[in-house]
Amino acid sequence: MADRPFRWLRRPAASPRGLSYGADYNPEQWPPHIWRQDVEAMRRAGVTIVSLAIFSWARLQPAADRWTFEWLDEVMDLLHEGGIAVDLATATASPPPWLTAAYPEILPVDHEGRTLWPGGRQHWRPTSPVFREHALRLVRAMAERYGDHPALAAWHISNELGCHNAYDYSDDAAAAFRTWLRARYGTVEELNRAWATSFWSQQYGDWSEILPPRLAASFPNPTQQLDFRRFSSDALKEHLRAERDLLAELTPGIPVTTNFMVMGETRNMNYADWAGEVDFVSNDHYLLTGTQARDELSFSANLTGNLAGGRPWFLMEHSTSAVNWQPVNLAKPPGGLARDSLTHVAHGADAVCFFQWRQSAGGAEKYHSAMIPHAGTDSEVFRDVTDLGATLRALAPVAGTRRRPAQAAIVFDWDSWWAAELDSHPTSLLRYRQEALDWYSALTAAGIRVDVIPAGGQDDTSFDRYALLVAPILHVVPQDLADRLTRYATSGGHLVTTYFSGIVNEHDQVWLGGYPGALRDLLGIRIEEFAPLLDGERVELDLGVAGTLWTDRVEVTEEDVEIVARYTSGPQAGRAAVTRRRTGAGSAAYVSTRLGPDGLAPVLGRLLESAGVTGELPASLAGSVELTIRSGPDADYWFLINRTDDDVAVDGVEGEPILAPSLAKDLNLGPRQVCVLRRPAPENG
Ligand code: GAL
């Protein structure tokens, strides 16, 4: 994954490598006398780094030929004097009003042809040459001004690229899409074949006829939609590269990152493809609501850690308490702030930062929590923040250690996410990420450590280290991926896949001969027709659990296929619901319905047993404690995270507890508490 060599924050010579701690810092919202108070309070809280100037373009360049860096010079100097490092933004995230007034052609256009006007943020077309020129001018000015500043630890490109402007349907986008398609297909004839344009009279005669999938009279061509998603992710990646390459030329000694958004349903950027473009991976994550919210945080942190190739990564943003953008914004319960932060550290984060340092008095995010809330430093939040600072200091030995790979992995694939949820499908209710998260919850509840890994492509061996590989809704299976999975399962690996997997190739064209197409032979089953369920409909299985969303009329085609579970109600009653085929020393299993985290438990029990995967904690802790392991040259660090809101006594786990304010005082974990145990590194590494 990591094409660029890993480079962590630059730090002053001789300063020790620990975990970094801080926030987005937006001093332009406050008068200068507050800046001094800020630095003093940062020191009290244990802050070591801030992300600066993210939304400062208008303050740095108030007109095309006017630059006003003096205030930022002062802030950089103040931070440096206070011993606080800076992750300095290139400040290109939100263009100033003078720029969009002079060049309205940089504004994005939605699929209905409506302009997205200034007044919010990120109102720029990723493919606009005019925007690119002005953005790079600012990047150059920032690099020339601050490249040698002693506080500078890293460059922060733009901010959350694609958060609001991932899909632009403008004429600039149309032109860039054609260029991208030419590079992909070479000839219009090849594109016609890939897009199956003989359907509905869509055949193209010339590149100039091709458009982004703008509002159409009916379903737009699905391969056009899938390619537009791929193109849009690439267009933002091109912007990232353009800023990065200029920085690399001007300030080669400074590492470069940008904050990803591996969280929830944020799906527009293929981060598996982006991870190799930065010197270290950064992520923003906000806790969602609902029964799987905690597992969702862990899943996201886990995937981020694996996008980073197991190396340390930077948690660039999360919240101390409530956000301002959910329908109802809940404050975090006691211990919530620390548990959320430490779960990210458990999955490999070496820096823990919040949005933002000081809660804004005005503007759209004034009700979003911060490290210093409206109430000031005499507050529960600030005391928790200060405790966490002390905890992160005590956890310094963890810095630089890597994730220890688990025995089981869940394969996560952006192409399948995009394609499986396109319109005109058997059901519109299918949710790709939810199915993956359900498996994660089920494995975690069973006390099994699991990695969430990108499907990859280049690295033929990345699956091999896992005894069990779960590939939920792996919808897009090009021939080479089918070959990799087949090799995996026939050389001793235990593969599990689910409904709507193996269905199409990379052009979203169906593998013929019966489903699950590309995986049919490996699984030893054949399905002639899809059989989705209506919303609220349930079918029973003989394992005592119920399926929703989907069923399949599974025909077993090979003698060595074992029926792990059968339907006992609904249209498929009596037929196989879950199958498993022995493939030499390995196996290939198929789950034909959505079982949800609880319903997966008995199926998982069977699959884990045959794969020989066992928990590393005593069975009594399964479900209540999540385990992650970080490994260093001299020791392993076991993070035991209380997943529940109750007390949990940890018995039978050896190790030397690291004691610090926000960590459990002993092995009795209070609600939401975390403890970290130092243990000798295993002999075989
Ligand atoms: C992120 C963004 C921050 C802030 C935060 C609020 O999307 O990067 O600037 O808006 O969300 O949760």
**Residue from 365, 367, 369 to probe ligand 1 pocket by mutation (most atoms less than 8 Å from CB):** 365
- pLDDT at 13 > cutoff 80: no
User: Where residue 685 falls among pLDDT bands split at 50, 70, 90?
Assistant: low
Q: Residue 12: which pLDDT band, with cuts at 50, 70 and 90? A: confident
Q: What is the predicted pLDDT for the residue at 199?
A: 97
pLDDT of residue 418: 98
Cβ contacts of 560 within 8 Å, gap of 6 or more: 524, 581, 582
Question: Is 317 annotated in the active site?
Answer: yes
**325 appears as a binding residue in the annotation:** yes
Closest atom of ligand 1 to 325 CA is: 12
- Lowest-pLDDT range, 171-175, 315-319, 626-630, 650-654? 650-654
Q: Is the CB of 78 under 6 A from ligand 1?
A: no
- Split at pLDDT 50, 70, 90, the class of 446 is very high
Q: Measured in angstroms, how far is the CA atom of residue 447 from the centroid of ligand 1?
A: 33
- Taking the centre of ligand 1 as the mean of its atom positions, its distance from the CA of residue 365, in whole angstroms, is 9
User: Span 620-680: which CATH code?
Assistant: 2.60.40.1180
- CA torsion sign for 142, 143, 149, 150 is positive
DSSP one-letter code for 174:
H
Q: Which residue has the tokens 């962590």?
A: 8
Q: Provide the whole-model pTM.
A: 0.98
Per-residue model confidence (pLDDT) at position 439: 98
Question: Looking at ligand 1, which residue's alpha carbon is closest to its atom 10?
Answer: 365
Asked if the bond preceding 458 is cis, omega within 30° of 0, the reply is no
d(Cα 138, Cα 122) in Å, to the nearest integer?
Answer: 16
Atom of ligand 1 nearest to the CA of 54: 9
Q: Which two tokens stand for residue 21?
A: 């701690």
What separation in Å is there between the alpha carbon of 169 and the centre of ligand 1?
24
**pLDDT higher than 70, residue 414:** yes
- Which pLDDT belongs to residue 683? 77
279 lines ligand 1 (CB under 6 A): no
Q: Write down the catalytic residue from 160, 243, 277, 435.
A: 160
Give burial (CB, 10 Å; 0-12/13-18/19+) of 106: buried
Whether 555 is catalytic = no
Question: Which tens digit of pLDDT belongs to each residue from 149-189?
Answer: 999 999 999 999 999 999 999 999 999 999 999 999 999 99
- 355: CA distance to ligand 1 center in Å? 7
- For residue 441, report the distance from its CA to the centre of ligand 1, in Å: 27
- The Cα 94–Cα 107 span in angstroms is 11
The verdict on the CB of residue 163 being under 6 Å from ligand 1 is yes
55, 122, 160: which to mutate for ligand 1, most atoms within 8 A of CB? 160
The closest-lying atom of ligand 1 relative to the alpha carbon of residue 323 is 12
* Spatial contact of 606 and 308, defined as CB atoms under 8 Å apart: no
Q: Which residue's CA is the closest to the ligand 1 atom numbered 11?
A: 355
Q: Which ligand 1 atom sits nearest the alpha carbon of residue 319?
A: 12
Per-domain residue ranges for the chain? 20-166+233-400, 408-611, 620-680
> How many angstroms is it from 159 CA to the middle of ligand 1?
9
160 lines ligand 1 (CB under 6 A): yes
User: CB of 21 closer than 6 A to ligand 1?
Assistant: no
pLDDT bin (cut points 50, 70, 90) of residue 542 is very high
- Is there an atom of ligand 1 within 6 Å of 355 CB? yes
In the chain, what percentage of residues exceed pLDDT 90?
Answer: 96
Mutation probe of ligand 1 site: the residue of 122, 161, 355, 357 with most atoms within 8 A of C-beta: 355
Average pLDDT over residues 375-394: 98
How far is the first Cα of the chain from the last one, in angstroms, to the nearest whole number?
A: 22
Q: Which of 158, 284, 371 to mutate to test the pocket of ligand 1 (most atoms within 8 A of CB)?
A: 284
The whole-number average pLDDT for the span 517-528 is 98
Residue 197 pLDDT more than 60?
A: yes
Which residue in the list 277, 317, 421, 435 is annotated as catalytic? 317
**In the structure, what pLDDT confidence band is assigned to residue 303 with cuts at 50, 70 and 90?**
very high
How far apart CA 29 and CA 52 sit, in angstroms, is 12
Check pocket membership of 284 for ligand 1, CB cut-off 6 A: yes
Task: Categorize the per-residue pLDDT at 665 as very low, low, confident or very high, splitting at 50, 70 and 90.
Answer: confident
* Cβ 322 under 6 angstroms from ligand 1: no
Query: Which residue owns the Cα nearest ligand 1 atom 3?
Result: 355
Compute the distance between CA of residue 563 and CA of residue 545 in angstroms, rounded to an integer.
Answer: 16
Q: In the chain, how long is the greatest CA-to-CA distance?
A: 78
How far apart CA 489 and CA 76 sit, in angstroms, is 55
Residues 55, 59, 60: CA angle, nearest 5 degrees: 95
Structure tokens at 663: 């960590």
Q: What is the assigned CATH class of domain 408-611?
A: alpha beta
Please give the Cα distance from 123 to 50 (Å, whole number): 25
| Contact present, 131 and 124 (Cβ < 8 Å) | yes
Q: How far is the CA of 91 from the centre of ligand 1 (A)?
A: 14
Q: Is 317 in the pocket of ligand 1 (CB under 6 A)?
A: yes
User: For residues 502 and 499, what is the distance between their CA atoms, to the nearest angstrom?
Assistant: 9
The answer to whether 680 touches 636, Cβ cutoff 8 Å, is yes
Tokens encoding 191: 């594109």
Ligand 1: which residue has its CA nearest to atom 9?
355
**Cβ(645)–Cβ(620) below 8 Å:** no
> What's the gap in Å between 368 CA and the centre of ligand 1?
9
Beta carbons within 8 Å of 115's beta carbon, 6+ residues apart: 104, 107, 108, 109
**Closest residue to atom 8 of ligand 1, CA basis:** 160
286 lines ligand 1 (CB under 6 A): yes
Question: Which 8-state DSSP code applies to residue 201?
Answer: G
Task: Report the CATH number of the 20-166+233-400 domain.
Answer: 3.20.20.80
Residue 684 pLDDT > 90, yes or no? no
Please report which residue ranges of 251-379 form alpha helices under DSSP H. 271-274, 293-307, 336-346
- Which H or E run contains 340? helix 336-346
Q: Which atom, in ligand 1's list, is nearest to the CA of 159?
A: 8
Helix (H) or strand (E) holding 554: strand 550-556
- 473-504 as b/e: b if 16+ CB within 10 A: bbbbbeeebbebbbebbbeebbbbbbbbbbbb
Confidence check: pLDDT of 459 > 70: no
Q: Which residues on adjacent β-strands are paired with residue 88?
A: 52, 155
Residue 25 Cα to ligand 1 midpoint, Å, equals 12
**Cβ(354) – ligand 1 distance below 6 Å:** no
Compute the distance between CA of residue 580 and CA of residue 608 in angstroms, rounded to an integer: 12
Q: Is 159 in the pocket of ligand 1 (CB under 6 A)?
A: yes
pLDDT tens-digit map of 486-504: 999 999 999 999 999 999 9
Find out whether the beta carbon of 323 lies less than 6 Å from any atom of ligand 1: yes
Q: Is the C-beta atom of 266 inside 6 A of ligand 1?
A: no
Percentage of the chain exceeding pLDDT 70 = 99
